[in-house]
Amino acid sequence: MEIGHTAGRFFTKIGEREAELLYRMVDQKTMSIYHTFVPEEARGKGVADMLALAAFAYAKEKGMKVRPDCPYIPHFLEKHPELKEHSV
């Protein structure tokens, strides 16, 4: 699955639709993930995890921490405790 990235958004195509993870910069070192959406037909297939993994990798590469403002991200971090050190 190919994950795209534009300012404030990670995304992937699901058929004719898109799944997305939205973020905004709180400051130069903190990225707030505030929304994740996966089309109903693709839910439960790891799409949101792939988007979140891409976002955390980006934050780590840039020396940033992630603020989990989206309700999905704390759940994601429970499955990926190794990434908790990169969150605030």
For residue range 6-37, list pLDDT tens digits in order.
999 999 999 999 999 999 999 999 999 999 99
DSSP 8-state assignment for residue 82: G
Instruction: For the chain, give the mean pLDDT.
Output: 96
pLDDT reading at 1 higher than 90 = no
% the chain with pLDDT above 90 = 98
Domain with 8 in it: what CATH number?
A: 3.40.630.30
What's the one-letter identity of residue 49?
D
pLDDT band with cut points at 50, 70 and 90 for residue 56: very high
Long-range Cβ pairs for the range 65-68 (8 Å, 24+): 65/29, 65/30, 65/31, 66/30, 66/31, 66/32, 66/33, 67/26, 67/30, 67/31, 67/32, 67/33, 68/33
**How many structural domains compose the chain?**
1
C-alpha span between 80 and 24 (Å, rounded): 22
